[in-house]
Structure 1
Amino acid sequence: MNRPYPDRDRRGPPPDRNDHDHRHHERPHPAPRSAAPRRDHHPRRNAPPPPPITRAGPVILSVPVPKPNGAPGPPVAVQQPTELAVFSYDQFGHFHPDASSLRFWYPPAGYTVRRAVAGQGTAGTPLPHPPHPPPVPDRIDLNAQFDAYVPSANGIEPLDNLLRGLVDGQVWPFPARNDVHVVTWRGIATKFLCALYDNHRDGWELGAVRYNGTVFMHEHVTPARKADEDAMKADSRRARMAYWGYRFEQQCVLDTALSELAEPDRALAEEERRTTAVNAQKQFCSVFTTKIGSTRLVMGAEVDCCLDVSGGKRHYVELKTNKCVRTPGDHRAWRAKLLRIWAQSFLAGVPTIMVGFRDNDGVLVDVQELSTADLPRMVRGSADAWDPMACLRFAANALEKLREAVREEGVYYVVRWAHPFTGIEVERVDGRVEERLAGQRKEI
């Protein structure tokens, strides 16, 4: 199989995260607890996402989603992601055009991080979990401090602060000879990469508007999405499981790079992260550009942490949680999850993933390191394997056709992946202009 770009070690470029993409562990969004009220000039991330739009116009484009086992096609050219700008949210959810909320990888105390590589075990199987994990009380309980947890804002991240990050980074407005075709969040691009193997059929809906030749896309809250969020709020078990991902993340990072910490300070920092409540308002985001086929994208993504900085580049790390993989059903679910992990990390050029495997009670059992470049080979040969080049081929085709369909400036379009899930459809919404985006651009 032709690979889009070769294996990379930790030299890989930047970044990642957004997504309802943007919280990419096993977590929906728990019911928000109120953070300390504060009002100042910093914009917040609480703009309400647009509601879904009932069908108001004819379908002007339908991109068929082929069977993933169809005939192979030509390889797709993919450009290595390059970071353009960064921004942060502080503990109150306020925006800052800097890297003040960037955190650094430091493994959880008492755990040996093992590196899983392709070819170990059966297809798509992580390393066997240790029969004797760290003894109690050294094992990390991911339920700790749950009652003091301050979650991030519920719902879908609007484009507001992504655009502000581009402006403050002096990247946008784009130059007159603009070759940026799409601006969006990484989580939305991930949907296009994963559509070929989407067996959950949850569906999604996007809003798209063309402005100065560039298509801006954001996500709508569909009824199914809203129902799922409401059900999550009412289910204490799901809320707690959502929290485990955030707690694992906190136990893997420090606010200061390890190279800048003296030995006594490391012990203090470890103790602080064990005893401090999780505040998911504090986040770091990277804005980067990449190219899939003929489409150049500028995307924003939340980044979990940084391994180190060398040669002027930050080497980012993705953090995930998953239940221990033991049964055949666990293995199938894990292989399916690896597709989304690969898509998210590949799009942003994140070369390393650290996975915390936990038991059913939320106790951390094992930590393993995965390479993004290895993930396709890890699932190869299994009955439910996925082909990364097929994903890229479909995404390249769909994005190119979407750009052609969203052709009128200032007119609002809706992009849908919905029942019966045979294709991604584009509708022109007559008489509706995306005032909020247009006004926001003038304001910024």
Structure 2
Amino acid sequence: MARFNTEIRRFDYPNSGLNQPEELGCFSLDINREFHDDNSQRKYFIKPSNYDDVRFDLTKGYEGMVKRDEFKDEQIDHLLKWINNHELGNMQTDFICRRGLLNRLMRTPYAKEDDWKFAVTLHKGTYYLCECPTDQSLATIKQMMGEKDEEMCGWGCKFEQYLTASSADSDPTPDLQYNNCENFYTVVKATIGSHTLVYSGEVDAVSTDGNFGEHYVEFKTMKHSALQRPGFKRYKLRNWWAQSVLVGVPEIVVGLRDDAGIVTKLQTYKTQDLPMMVGNNVPWKPNVCFNFLDQLLAFIKSNVTIDDPRLVHLLEFSGGDATCTRLTRDSEYTFLHEWYTHN
């Protein structure tokens, strides 16, 4: 078993950061979570005329909402299907994974309370990373299954419905039933340090308005009072920044709501400005996040050296050093399918 030291001071030095991610393609998931190699689920941001005077009822239409199975582990299957339909050889990448895993890893130096576990397989010279459920993550999902918590988790989907349409010249349709199953994903290629990565990330909408030209936009909701809490700069801004910067989303639109789920005001944040908003008492630094990920990827390359799609190394973190353990062939954590590896 190999160990990786996660102490913050090891990563607090200047870094080259992340290059602007290059979009390679996209795919969609329908209401049954079936894969489609197209942009059928892409939505467009329809900007309200007045950000300071809106009334979005996020509880509207919750009864009958179609919900995804939060306990179903989809691994990286959808991304593998997209790669199967395209020329992976032209991608020339070191790592393939989902954005969510990279987001979690980048936050690790400042989130020692969050456990993670992921499987690594080296196949034809490329490292595939697949996040695995932990006891902590499963307990969090179970906690969210309470009636009120589950409804609040659906508020983000309803918020998107108030702000998006299927085309740039259409109107939002918040009176229609909604679900959290349909999603649109971008597939990007990026570089961190000396490592190239191809990964997928869910995108909320496309904006055709503003100073960025046509660009992706992220939607969030939060309570009005949360803006004044210390945790806003320490946790929220860090999480929003990491999620958006990884797929090159320059703009985040936040709906400020009350306890009853009524949004009355919108606020826009530029992703590039979020690190500067934390003030002089800096609770987190982008360079630490990027340097941690850079060195962890180098650690993987040093410890996972056998090219075999049936062999998995398990990386785990639970508050201390991260560990890398080589498993037996065809273990329960094997995640690359024959339909992919035999192509």
* Gap change, CA 1:326 and 1:229, over 3 Å in 2: closer
* Gap change, CA 1:157 and 1:112, over 3 Å in 2: farther
| SS of structure 1 residue aligned to 2:28 | strand
- Which one of 237, 243, 263 corresponds to residue 148 of structure 2? 237
Q: Does the CA contact (< 8 Å) of 1:151 and 1:280 recur in 2?
A: yes
2:323 match: 425
- Which one of 247, 258, 283 corresponds to residue 359 of structure 1? 258
State the TM-score, normalizing by the size of structure 1. 0.71
CA RMSD of aligned residues (A): 2.3
| SS of structure 1 residue aligned to 2:336 | helix
Does residue 307 of the first structure (1) align with residue 307 of the second (2)?
no
* Gap change, CA 1:335 and 1:426, over 3 Å in 2: same
Q: Does the CA contact (< 8 Å) of 1:152 and 1:280 recur in 2?
A: yes
Which residue identity does 1:430 align to in structure 2?
T
* Gap change, CA 1:93 and 1:71, over 3 Å in 2: closer
* 1:348 to partner: Cα distance: 0.7
Q: Does the CA contact (< 8 Å) of 1:91 and 1:279 recur in 2?
A: yes
Which residue identity does 2:34 align to in structure 1?
H
State the TM-score, normalizing by the size of structure 2. 0.91
Does residue 297 of the first structure (1) align with residue 210 of the second (2)?
no
Does residue 342 of the first structure (1) align with residue 254 of the second (2)?
no
Does residue 255 of the first structure (1) align with residue 255 of the second (2)?
no
1:205 match: 117
Q: Deviations over 1:337-384 (max 9, x none)?
A: 1111101111111111111111111110221111010000011313x5
- Which one of 51, 55, 61 corresponds to residue 145 of structure 1? 61
Does residue 185 of the first structure (1) align with residue 66 of the second (2)?
no
**How far apart are the structure 2 equivalents of 1:367 and 1:77?**
30
- Which one of 276, 288, 298 corresponds to residue 377 of structure 1? 276
| SS of structure 2 residue aligned to 1:251 | helix
Q: Which runs of 5+ in 1 are unaligned?
A: 1-58, 114-132
2:6 match: 65
Percent identical pairs in the alignment equals 26
**How far apart are the structure 1 equivalents of 2:274 and 2:36?**
34
Q: Which runs of 5+ in 2 are unaligned?
A: none
**How far apart are the structure 1 equivalents of 2:67 and 2:233?**
26
Q: Deviations over 1:60-101 (max 9, x none)?
A: 2x2211236x78413224321001111111233221111111
Q: Does the CA contact (< 8 Å) of 2:24 and 2:188 recur in 1?
A: yes
Q: Deviations over 1:266-321 (max 9, x none)?
A: 5xx33xx12111122221111110010111110011110000299xx951111111
- Which one of 14, 23, 28 corresponds to residue 74 of structure 1? 14
Which residue identity does 1:302 align to in structure 2?
E
**How far apart are the structure 2 equivalents of 1:71 and 1:443?**
39
* Gap change, CA 1:428 and 1:304, over 3 Å in 2: same
2:129 match: 217
Q: Deviations over 1:1-41 (max 9, x none)?
A: xxxxxxxxxxxxxxxxxxxxxxxxxxxxxxxxxxxxxxxxx
Q: Does the CA contact (< 8 Å) of 1:249 and 1:304 recur in 2?
A: yes
- Which one of 151, 155, 158 corresponds to residue 75 of structure 2? 158
Output aligned runs, 1:64-103, within 5 Å.
64-67=5-8, 72-103=12-43
**How far apart are the structure 2 equivalents of 1:358 and 1:206?**
35
* Gap change, CA 1:214 and 1:442, over 3 Å in 2: closer
Q: Deviations over 1:104-159 (max 9, x none)?
A: 00135xx723xxxxxxxxxxxxxxxxxxx64xxx6211111011211233244321
Which residue identity does 2:144 align to in structure 1?
M
**How far apart are the structure 2 equivalents of 1:352 and 1:171?**
31
Which residue identity does 2:98 align to in structure 1?
W
| SS of structure 1 residue aligned to 2:283 | coil
Which residue identity does 2:299 align to in structure 1?
K
**How far apart are the structure 2 equivalents of 1:443 and 1:161?**
17
The number of aligned residues is 337
Which residue identity does 1:140 align to in structure 2?
F
- Which one of 368, 375, 399 corresponds to residue 297 of structure 2? 399
2:50 match: 112
* 1:198 to partner: Cα distance: 0.4
Which residue identity does 1:181 align to in structure 2?
D
Which residue identity does 2:75 align to in structure 1?
P
Q: Does the CA contact (< 8 Å) of 1:356 and 1:368 recur in 2?
A: yes
Which residue identity does 1:205 align to in structure 2?
K
Stretch moving more, 147-156 or 403-412:
147-156
Q: Deviations over 1:424-444 (max 9, x none)?
A: 211111344565414131466
1:18 match: none
Which residue identity does 2:62 align to in structure 1?
F
Q: Does the CA contact (< 8 Å) of 2:42 and 2:206 recur in 1?
A: yes
Which residue identity does 1:359 align to in structure 2?
D
1:441 match: 340
Does residue 228 of the first structure (1) align with residue 140 of the second (2)?
yes
Which residue identity does 2:15 align to in structure 1?
P
In terms of Rg, which structure is larger?
1
- Which one of 269, 278, 281 corresponds to residue 181 of structure 2? 281
**How far apart are the structure 1 equivalents of 2:230 and 2:58?**
23
Q: Does the CA contact (< 8 Å) of 2:17 and 2:287 recur in 1?
A: no
**How far apart are the structure 1 equivalents of 2:300 and 2:205?**
33
